[in-house]
Structure 1
Amino acid sequence: MTTNTDRIRVPADAAADHDLISDFVTMSTFGATPAGGVERQAATLADGENRRWLAGWLVERGFTVAYDRIGNMFGLYELVPGAPYVLAGSHLDSQPRGGRYDGAYGVLAAAHAMDRLRDHYLRHPSTARYNLAVVNWFNEEGSRFKPSMQGSGVFTGKIELDSARATTDSEGITVEQALLELDMLGTSDVFTVGDHHLSGGLGVASYAEIHIEQGRELDKAGVVMGVVDSTWGANKYEISVVGSQAHTGATAIADRQDALYGASLAVVALRDLADEYGDELHTSCGQLTVYPNSPVVVAREVRMHLDLRSPSDDLLDEADAALSKAFADIELKADVEIQRKFAHRWKGHTYTPEGVELAGRVIDDLGLSRQNVRTRAGHDSTNMKDVVPTVMLFVPSVDGVSHAENEYTHDKDLISGVDVLTETLARMVEGEIDP
């Protein structure tokens, strides 16, 4: 494909591309692991250091940095006084021993794209209709604090603020305490979306996010850009399997109420569901915490985090009912009680059709290959698409690896992604997608 230079507002720049890769290398030092990944779970010291570096980067380029009441971080640049903002970003927090690219690339890409636009609209001020904002969403990963996508969930009114701030990690530290220690907890809302924020704030015109694919479709096809047109639905559960503590040697098998045995049956039941439904259902148990976790004690309780994901909301409801029946059978077989303590859900939905079309035109104009993809993973855009026009872009992830230290995306694809994001945002700033 050839580039349609007549339609491109902000052309590629070799020096800017070099700076992007250099900044990505620098950012990847925060929480770096020996095997080439990062570990900077939400509101940890490493996450705070990365946030401070980004804040300095933004301020140096004329952006104003602000935090809201759940610790979402914004870099604001006003082009049109009083006008709403076009937001772009992702998240800087990672999974334990996670990859360098997941989330972090999207934040840095948004920062570089918005800085290119800042420079462009200083020279062409009359064409801008909206203002610019970079966002780093708090606790997208949900590894230290549950649930995932917490910052964007509060922002969009899907998660209650006080409940989110009171959420504790495994050591009993609350979200509020952790953010206060970093001095990154705002006292008011920066933006208003819908009517759930009562304290007022700036307006949001639209949102864009770019991310590594976390799948193999683009990599296998040799395609440079993915345009996300829809998302799988998901049910995430926090459950407790409750039994009775006892001696592993002295207590007869028939007398045991072994919570770990019950939890093991639940893990198997999840896999059986996946096998039954095939590729249309993904299931997993990502975390178990065993109490008292002693080698000579029958477990009294196991806390678990489970999830079901499917492209079909009806199938997801069916699988949820099947899981409930499996839990009832396990309670009888293992003589335990299974308590559902929390469930976080989102339905499968399409992304803004006008945004999908716009991103496709941009990619064609830049002479890059593309295909539409459906995301199985949740992203902050999953929340944002329900409240403002939203564009979601993917760049290839080699072999589809993600949430692991060997996660990798080629530099040339990172650069192409920023070019596409920059041009897409330029057209959003000029009103090609209106609220």
Structure 2
Amino acid sequence: MAQRETWTSRIGFIFAAVGSAVGLGNIWSFPFQTAANGGAAFLVVYLLAVFLIGFPTMMVEFVIGRRGEQNPVAAFGKLGYGNWSFAGGLGVLSTLVTLSFYSVVGGWVLSYIVGSATGAYFGDAGAYFGSVASGPTAIAAHGIFMLVTIGIVASGVTDGIERATKFMIPAILVLLVALGAWATTLDGASAGYSYYLSPDFSVIANNFGSIVPPAMGQAFFTLSLGFSVMIAYSSYLGRDDSLPADGGAIVVVNTMVALLAGFVVFPLLFATGGAEGAGGGAGTAFIAIAGAFGQLPAGGAIGFVFFAVLLFAALSSSISLLEVPVSYVTENYGYSRSTTAVAMGLGIALIGVPATFGTSWLGFYNDVVFKLLLPISVFLLAVFVGWVADTEAVDELGRGSTIGESFTTAWLWWVRVVVPLAVVVTLYLGIDALYTGLTNGAYF
């Protein structure tokens, strides 16, 4: 059997993990989820979810992955708990469903890069979205995006994923900072910042049931939790790396990118009058931002940079989503990485074709993942680490780190009690929202 690949450096792992976390969820979904759910009120709930639930859960996936040194399904067997492999399998399923529609949105980004260069969306942003979001153009762009993703994953952990993310993550940060600086010059910047950063806590109190599920789902999605991605990535780690330090760096950088995206999007929308329609879902998000660029001097150039950032973010996440099933198949069944990446990638692309027929399918896929699959997966992993493999987890968390016993003990009890309770509440609210959407015809 060929020797299993590992990251060439600690920074390589951090960039890859940040790349998984920093995706469309941060730059596309986060600002528009914020707009749709009360502005700064949503931001407060989201940040609490990231640091109080997201970070401890990331440590859960890290200890399973590094301790098991296998793909997300086989890792449980390596730990001596093979009957829990279904928990990793659910993460694999989540990656398959998510990448199938995520790549469709990635295809939209490709179309908008072209549209920025040609000015195609300047005249009528809504009509342009309609022309690229469904039909042959959407199918072709979806396919191209998946082919790029397949090519990177097929090249391997070191030569493909690590090399690509070492380029894309710095590029995202530099370009977002530049766009954020540009956004401060817009006439509507102050109003945008106020909406984004001045929370009305009565909005949280009056809309708790509708804000918490998307905020928690957004936190899981943007940190790649529940997909078993972090189990897969941490399985390539060395024993001497500090999991809390690496996890903290990943969470902070990921959150910085999401916040930076808001500092670009909200001034832009308020400057051009597009803020009211920004929270209407996948389609209106693209229409609002493209319409805003169409109203500004040099809007094509700025739009090109913005959608280039979005493309890097989309790819850095899509390769992590494909890596999970690819690592499972190659390690469990012995197929080559390149063959598996091509076969899995093409299969996922086919699953996503219905999402190229209209945004209703995409919205349904998205809600199934956010409100159902990810919370269930996180709940199972928390229970496993907190109550089943607790001894191994505490030992693994302390390896390569200077943290004391008080930290590991507090983390363990937080994972045992707080994380499952928070996820159960989120899951209940999410299932209720999903059921309501199905019964009132919101999807189809």
TM-score bracket, normalised by the shorter chain, equals under 0.3
User: More strand per residue: 1 or 2?
Assistant: 1
Higher relative contact order (CA 8 A, sep 6+): 2
User: More helix per residue: 1 or 2?
Assistant: 2
Bigger Rg, which one: 1
Instruction: Please report the TM-score for the alignment, with normalisation by the length of structure 2.
Output: 0.25
Instruction: Please report the TM-score for the alignment, with normalisation by the length of structure 1.
Output: 0.25
